[in-house]
Structure 1
Amino acid sequence: MKMSVRRSGTFLLQTSPHSHLVASSRFRSLTTETKQGDYPSPTQTQLPKDQKLTDIVDEICKITRTKPRWENTLLSQYPSFNFSDPNFFLLYLNHQNNSFLSLRFLHWLSSHCSFSPDQSSCNVLFDALVDAEACKAAKSLLDYPGFTPKPASLESYIRCLINGGMVEDALDVFVTLKKVGFLPSVSTFNASLLACLKVGRTDLVWTLYERMLESGIVASIDVETVGYLIKAFCAENKVFNGYELLRQVLDKGLCPDNTVFNSLIAGFCKERQYTRVSEILHIMIAMKCNPDIYTYQEVINGLFKRKNAEGFRVFNDLKDRGYFPDRVMYTTVIKGLCDIGLLGEARKLWFEMIQKGLVPNEYTYNVMVYGYFKIGDLVEARKLYEDMCGRGYSENAVSYTTMISGLCLHGRTDEALSLFREMSEKGVACDLIIYNSLIKGLCQKGKLVKATDLLNELLVKGLEPSVSSFTPLIKRLCEVGDTEGAMRLLKDMHDRHLEPIAGTHDYIIIGLCKEGNFVQGMEWLLNMLSWKLKPKEQTFEHLIDSLLQEDRLDDILVVLDLMFREGYRLKESIIHSLVCKFSKENLHLPNLCLEELV
């Protein structure tokens, strides 16, 4: 199948007989004989027949295998021996039969004996390191002057790199192979595309695909390649582009696997395009690519995000049709039900899955615990948490986060802080979510000093703060009349390239009004509007009330005009105050009459 894909715009597909190329991996052992034409192995190389040399090699192998810090004494043990003989190193490789020790020995030879390994020695060792999935060690061997692995070895090295997550290094090897005119197999390209997706580097997916096009391999590109491109589109939130590519593939009679459809379904659920989700399900059935339990899990998860019970209906329908949900599916539905407040139904499913032999895991427990917290049932939440710990699930960051967040949700900050200290005592690392939950809870309880201490603590520990780390503190500082301190925190956010939510600016304006600093409050309001941010209705009301107290009637007219432009209406109490004030001053209101106020 010939194909040219751009990241946005038109997609072109032309059919040609396609074949699935089976990955061919080459594994060499230091003890196996090489085929004719390969580099010489130690058994093929003409080595001295002197048994004394063989005995010395055996002794050196044993020393480097068993004696610590042998590098400091080996030369003195064999003062007359020629360590720089290339045949000796080949013999050493054969006798040692350990690629890691052999590499260490090679580094020692090069630095202490002026040894320059030949191509054969490097090839043997490089292939052994690649076979052992030691990609970093193999990479260090490439630094030896004049050593260039064989193209087939480099292709195996690509697979070694992607298995180790070193996708950028793998792309560099593709460039090297292109320079020597060697074309890797489609399966190697596909494995690399998949590795790029796994580490979230969709930019490298497109770079690699361009390399495929440049190499002329397009005629051999199979449906697996197309599937990875569709997944890359979905990962970049370009699900409609992925869908367009899918339609073209289907028109050619090809059908990707279920994981590709699942990616599109998840993407459309995220975009709330549920008509498209239904369409994809029908396509799967028509192409005899029956949706599996994972496909429906994406559908159900997406439906629950709409905050209604439609996902629960689909789940029950699946059971009626003979599907057997697994623990992940049950957990997904239980979480969805807890999120929409149907804890009773979630509880029924909890016991149903246990009855079916599906033991709840730690994540399922935490979902239910937080569900109880959301409805305010702290007793059941604590009881279930203790049950989870009693069943052998370790108290880790996830479970502590659930409990601390739930307790802070209901103002139980003392208990939350007690768990927080318990974490440190047990050596459980605190993450940013825990710090943010505590900061928010403490600010709501008015414990500003402790909340500020926690912000400083997370910075000292090297955690990168988020918007949620600063917002509660800024709000509380404005409420207690320390707007200047709030502004310092806001500046700190900007310095860290954190964009505050619109409400943060509302807190500042209201705080300035409470301090009687209405002029700066007016300036801040105008800045908000210039930044295309919509102030809250109460922000306008606080500013009008502050201006009324200072008889700033002209400024009030400006604020009223801005308020009406944003679509807000005045409360009756404010209208009464305005009418009284303007009547008392016996003013005629230009462009603003009583009827407009009402």
Structure 2
Amino acid sequence: MARTPTSFLIFLFQNHRTIQNPKFNPKSLDPIRNLIIPVDTSNSKSETIETQIRNDGDDNRQQEQHGFTKLVEEICGIIRTQPRWENTLLSQFPPILSFSQSSLFLEVFRRQNNVFLSLRFFHWLISLSQFSPDSLSCKLLFDALVESKASSLAKSFIECVKFTPEKSSLERLIRCFCENGSVDQALDFFSKLDSFGVCASIETWNLALSASIRLKKTDYVWNLYREMMDSGVAADVETVGYLIQAFCIENKIERAYELLRQVLHDGVAPSNVSFNKMISRFCNDKKYGRVSELLHIMIAKNCKPDIYTYQEVIHGLCKRRKGIEGYRIFNDLKDRGYAPDRVMYTTMIHGLCEMRWLGEARKLWFDMIRKGLVPNEYTYNVLICGFCMIGDLQEAHKLDKEMHDRGYKETTVSYNTLIMGLCVNGKIENACSLFEEMLQKGIFRDIITYNTLIRGLCKDGNLTKSQELFEELLAQGLQPSSSSYTPLIEQFCRVRKMDQAIELWMDMENQGIVPSVYNHECIIVGFCDQGSAVEGMQWLSEMLNKKLVPQKSTFERLVKCLSQKDKLDDALLVLGSMFNIGYKSCENVSDFLVSKLCGENSFHIETCLGKILERG
């Protein structure tokens, strides 16, 4: 049942216009109050009636303000504590319908300290039809929404109330969109700024470009840059840096390099981040001359290469099997006073493990610890993987135990590393035991876990178990990869079950996975082993039509198989294709083919062979 409001609150509701009017004069209530009644002047403390009335008016205003404050407090309490407070306010304070001034909302907003409840109260007041929001209320509420990172609500507020925020507030909203990862909404909002008569500053444009780069959304970058140019905003060096990074993400490294040369010609240089991205891409493309050139440019332009720059160089070298050069640069950096961090140490340890330099990797491990850098889970797994690769499983297990003793939990990555090591060293039963142990401990088995074990089982010749694992992978809802199919296709070809191999091939294509060169070669060699040289030649023809280049050994295997089947014309065609690619003739294959040709005594074939050998 609704509570009956106090008599004073009822009075307050009934006289709200008087209360809210700052120019209200109590004397206007009654003409008698304007009279000045004389009193005995012999008493020095006497006062005029006018003074008494003025004091009474001040007291009334204080009481009225107190009543207004009490009203706001009660409203705030109901809003905070009752889910359906709208009905409660209407039933408990019916005269609230008469409040059309904004001062009630402003006081509730100030005391509520909850922007979402205040927004709901604001819309409720509007629904009463007598409330007309003023610009101050709208500004305060909008800014509070942006401050609370409620970017979508702030945008909706503008559209609903038909309110035009200040330029600084609009730019803060764009920043809010970017920080929330809603770059698409920021991009959409940029296009609406013209309708507000606002042109965003270069700082705001760059902020949106930066957010797009973080998300690797290069289409957003180019759309933003186009709108920026159309708005007449001049790009600065920071903008150029983001464009260079966008080119790097798209692997258009030469265009990034051209843009760099242009800004360098203008006498400015982008940040180290842009240089680092370019260095990383050039390392991936094995263009180490460009890498060296960029390092010299950085030094010349006072953009001193930092530890992250050299980290990109070392990572690129190690990734491209140039670990020795990477190790030389790593040691040179330490000699020059650089302090490699844990990431760089881990990168270098990984490169050394890839080269099977476990002794040097172990030295770096201890050097890292002496410098106060504690190995993390990834560093441990890198070294564990290295010991697995050289077959030192005892040391790998020892490191794994040490990692867990340090508080690192058993994870999918740590199990995958050990399963890989066991499979590489032919300990398939142990690997299968770890695989089952993951299930018992509730550790997620990902696509890498399945692929690793499928490959190990295929290598061990256990095709049945491999197929079962593949079916389980699909049943778990995991998306198979090329590495899921390749071992099975290879094994089916090896045991001459070409129908099953081709069925898997077709399934792989249906999954949207593009078969690799090695997948094609397995099928070709499988047909040759089965004695179906013509089918093998058809697969080779399709492969060449797709601009895929087989290994020389695949050509030679097919030439030999065709020759054995007395398909000498076809064998010569395959040999000619091999020479066209740039491979040279193998002596064994040539001798075998010549002996076949001599047996045929065919002048036509000898003429073809002569022409082919001239090209080869």
- TM tier, smaller: 0.7 to 0.9
Q: Give the TM-score taking structure 1 as reference length.
A: 0.81
Asked if 2 retains the 8 angstrom alpha-carbon contact of 1:158 and 1:173, the reply is yes
Q: Deviations over 1:379-437 (max 9, x none)?
A: 11111111111111122233233223333333333333333333334443333333322
2:377 counterpart of 1:335: no
Q: 1:158 aligns with which of 161, 167, 174?
A: 174
In structure 2, what is the Cα distance between the partners aligned to 1:281 and 1:591? 57
Secondary structure of residue in 1 paired with 2:191: helix
Q: Deviations over 1:490-529 (max 9, x none)?
A: 2222223322111211212222333443333232222222
* Corresponding residue for residue 217 of structure 1: 233
Shift of 1:194: 1.0
Q: 2:247 aligns with which of 224, 227, 233?
A: 233
Shift of 1:253: 3.5
2:464 counterpart of 1:486: no
CA separation of 1:510 and 1:252: change in aligned 2, threshold 3 A: closer
* Corresponding residue for residue 365 of structure 2: 350
Shift of 1:119: 6.6
Asked if 2 retains the 8 angstrom alpha-carbon contact of 1:119 and 1:147, the reply is no
Asked if 2 retains the 8 angstrom alpha-carbon contact of 1:84 and 1:113, the reply is no
Q: 1:428 aligns with which of 432, 439, 443?
A: 443
* Corresponding residue for residue 6 of structure 2: none
Asked if 2 retains the 8 angstrom alpha-carbon contact of 1:84 and 1:114, the reply is no
Q: Deviations over 1:36-56 (max 9, x none)?
A: xxxxxxxx9879969777656
Q: 2:257 aligns with which of 226, 243, 253?
A: 243
In structure 2, what is the Cα distance between the partners aligned to 1:84 and 1:538? 93
CA separation of 1:158 and 1:115: change in aligned 2, threshold 3 A: farther
Q: Deviations over 1:115-155 (max 9, x none)?
A: 99847555433321210122244345456364554443221
2:279 counterpart of 1:265: yes
CA separation of 1:567 and 1:226: change in aligned 2, threshold 3 A: closer
In structure 2, what is the Cα distance between the partners aligned to 1:285 and 1:250? 13
CA separation of 1:213 and 1:76: change in aligned 2, threshold 3 A: closer
In structure 2, what is the Cα distance between the partners aligned to 1:185 and 1:386? 55
What is the correspondence of 1:255-404 to structure 2 with a 5 Å cutoff? Answer: 255-308=269-322, 309-404=324-419
Paired amino acid for 2:200: P
Secondary structure of residue in 2 paired with 1:225: helix
Q: Deviations over 1:336-363 (max 9, x none)?
A: 2222222211111111111121111111
Shift of 1:553: 4.4
Q: Deviations over 1:509-566 (max 9, x none)?
A: 2223334433332322222222222233443444445445544444444444444444
2:467 counterpart of 1:452: yes
Which structure has more RCO (C-alpha within 8 Å, separation ≥ 6)? 1
Q: 2:115 aligns with which of 81, 87, 99?
A: 99
CA separation of 1:148 and 1:196: change in aligned 2, threshold 3 A: same
Q: Deviations over 1:367-389 (max 9, x none)?
A: 11111122221211111111111
Unaligned runs of 5+ in 1: 1-43
Shift of 1:576: 5.8
Shift of 1:307: 2.4
Give the stretch that moved more between structures: 144-153 or 461-470. Answer: 144-153
Paired amino acid for 1:488: E
In structure 1, what is the Cα distance between the partners aligned to 2:124 and 2:496? 68
Give the stretch that moved more between structures: 577-586 or 437-446. Answer: 577-586
2:202 counterpart of 1:186: yes
Shift of 1:197: 0.9
* Corresponding residue for residue 24 of structure 1: none
Asked if 2 retains the 8 angstrom alpha-carbon contact of 1:547 and 1:556, the reply is yes
Give the stretch that moved more between structures: 371-380 or 581-590. Answer: 581-590
* Corresponding residue for residue 12 of structure 2: none
Q: 1:205 aligns with which of 193, 202, 221?
A: 221
Paired amino acid for 2:436: R
In structure 2, what is the Cα distance between the partners aligned to 1:192 and 1:123? 24
Give the stretch that moved more between structures: 525-534 or 132-141. Answer: 132-141
What is the correspondence of 1:86-125 to structure 2 with a 5 Å cutoff? Answer: 87=102, 90-103=106-119, 118=133, 120=135, 122-125=138-141
Question: Higher helix share goes to which structure?
Answer: 2
* Corresponding residue for residue 133 of structure 1: 149
Shift of 1:579: 5.2
CA separation of 1:320 and 1:463: change in aligned 2, threshold 3 A: same
Asked if 2 retains the 8 angstrom alpha-carbon contact of 1:151 and 1:177, the reply is no
In structure 1, what is the Cα distance between the partners aligned to 2:466 and 2:122? 56
CA separation of 1:154 and 1:517: change in aligned 2, threshold 3 A: same
Secondary structure of residue in 2 paired with 1:144: helix
Shift of 1:578: 4.5
Asked if 2 retains the 8 angstrom alpha-carbon contact of 1:127 and 1:153, the reply is yes
Q: 2:190 aligns with which of 161, 174, 188?
A: 174
* Corresponding residue for residue 415 of structure 1: 430
Q: Give the TM-score taking structure 2 as reference length.
A: 0.79
In structure 2, what is the Cα distance between the partners aligned to 1:514 and 1:209? 58
CA separation of 1:509 and 1:109: change in aligned 2, threshold 3 A: farther
Q: How many residues align?
A: 551
**Matched-pair identity in %:** 50
Shift of 1:161: 0.6
Shift of 1:75: 7.3
Shift of 1:165: 0.9
Unaligned runs of 5+ in 2: 1-18, 23-60
CA separation of 1:244 and 1:564: change in aligned 2, threshold 3 A: closer
